[in-house]
Amino acid sequence: MTAAALFQSALASLPEIVVITGACILLILGQLLRKGQEHFLVWSCVAVVLIAALATLMLSSEVRPAYTGMFIADRFAAFFKFVFYLATVLTFLLSRKYADIEGIESSEYYVLLLFTLSGMMIMASATDLLSIYVGLELMVLCTYVLTGFLRRERRSNEAALKYVILGAVSTGIFLYGVSLVYGLTGTTQLDAMAAAVTGHPLDPGLLLAVVFIVAGLVFKVGAVPFHMWVPDVYEGAPTTITAFMSVGPKAAGFAVILRVFLNPLVAASDVWIIVAAIAVVTMALGSFVALVQDNFKRLLAYSSIAHAGFALLGVVAGGADGIASVMLYLLIYSLMNLGIFGIVIMMRNGDFSGEVIEDYAGLAKPHPGLALLMLLYLFSLAGIPPTAGFFAKFYVLVALVERGFVMLAVTAVLLSVVAAYFYIRIVMVIYMREPERTFDPALTPLVRATLAFTAAGTIGIGLFPAWFLRLAQNSVFGG
């Protein structure tokens, strides 16, 4: 590799370099900080992310392949990176107070989040099965640790252990699929793979390889049949990490799925039938099981499974609209989901866990503003206009019907009616019960800022979706 090529490669991956360097520096600085100086750490982390965002913005004008075809900085990656930045920064803001309440004192918490971010960014930009694997592992290893961060809590430890074991298995499956692909085509690059099989009838070995890769990736987004870890991990992890995982790593998983699945190789293999089946079963399971949950975090876990199923339908639709619909869906889902999690995180104060839905009974009376925000997020999650959640679903349906998958669209909307039930049940608890206790939410300025931002996004994109829609459409790769 010549010096010029190396420089070009480094330039293309500048945001990743910024984040990783920043994380390393903060890792050392964090050890030197005294107690009570955590806010310095939080703001430094935010600053690192903002610098990376600036770099991404400056690089997004053209497509830059790098590292001999392992990596690419294109608008598709840039769009996802902005979703990741958004999720990470909001998680930082939500974490500050929550970390005090839960007694998380180590600075590694923030640094690990930065490393997770870098892993997700690599995933979004990876164009080779091996660089995908590197990004994936970097991301999940950090989230394993973060899940178990409440060291004194059994649930947290148990969740982390479960997550590690299941995650390792799924990674193994993924790697096995990669090795099969390499054996059959002699390459692991996505484009080269496609070129290698063009003109050949698909052999069963390749199909098997694709199924293994699918299995590995589907685990990361929490779709059936690899969803079992989701509720336990979501429930056990610190709520801030749950919020983060439901948004960031999930979006990263989808970034890879879109790159891999909409590759000509996969598109030719009728694998969409598998994905369609997975999507429908995922939606059905998420929606129906969520009906009987009493724990708010578990309910949101199943809700996130259902949403993953809906987004997968956009993958099934494929094409420019299909890809754009998934991207827009993930952006909107990030906003509304971080919003509702923000409230759950904020309710955790003193002895009050705020994890059981009944804990929210009558919230509307003492805190009408908070109740209104929850109403907004919940109806958005349910997909009722004029919220952004409706437009996200609407666009996926448009993409589906455009491809002629009308029955899939009908199934999807009927299942979303089931899902609406458990969202409005929470609204019922908030508005139609009498308060049984006094509420003392940890409403710090940072939390307020997060809620204001997510609420503005949830209603703003719902009312004026045009700009965001065009952004997503312009960011579709190859389009």
Residue 354 CB, shortest distance to other proteins, in Å, is 22
C-beta of 10 vs 372, nearer to other proteins: 372
Contact (Cβ atoms closer than 8 angstroms) between residue 177 and residue 207: no
C-beta of 188 vs 475, nearer to other proteins: 475
Residue 439 CB, shortest distance to other proteins, in Å, is 17
Cβ neighbours of residue 64 closer than 8 Å, sequence gap 6 or more? 8, 11, 12, 72, 73, 74
Residue 222 CB, shortest distance to other proteins, in Å, is 24
Residue 373 CB, shortest distance to other proteins, in Å, is 14
Contact (Cβ atoms closer than 8 angstroms) between residue 14 and residue 75: no
C-beta of 59 vs 375, nearer to other proteins: 375
Q: Where are the beta strands (DSSP E) in 367-419?
A: none
C-beta of 265 vs 426, nearer to other proteins: 426
Contact (Cβ atoms closer than 8 angstroms) between residue 221 and residue 253: yes
Residue 59 CB, shortest distance to other proteins, in Å, is 25
Cβ neighbours of residue 338 closer than 8 Å, sequence gap 6 or more? 87, 90, 91, 94, 243, 247, 450, 454
Query: With the C-alpha atoms ordered 457, 460, 466, 467, is the resulting torsion angle positive or negative?
Result: negative
What is the contact surface with other proteins in residues (CB under 8 A)? 364, 368, 375, 379, 384-386, 390, 394-395, 397-398, 401-402, 406, 409-410, 413-414, 416-417, 420-421, 424-425, 427-428, 431-432, 465-466, 469-470, 473
Angle between helices 368-382 and 406-431 (to 10 degrees): 160
Query: b/e map of 172-208 (b: 16 or more CB within 10 Å)?
Result: ebbbbbbebbeebbebbbbbbbbebbeeeeeeeebee
Residue 461 CB, shortest distance to other proteins, in Å, is 11
CA 88, CA 44: separation in Å to the nearest integer? 13
C-beta of 131 vs 416, nearer to other proteins: 416
- Provide the 10 A C-beta neighbour count for residue 407: 10
Residue 472 CB, shortest distance to other proteins, in Å, is 10
DSSP class of residue 71 equals E
C-beta of 94 vs 396, nearer to other proteins: 396
C-beta of 208 vs 424, nearer to other proteins: 424
Residue 465 CB, shortest distance to other proteins, in Å, is 6
C-beta of 73 vs 313, nearer to other proteins: 313
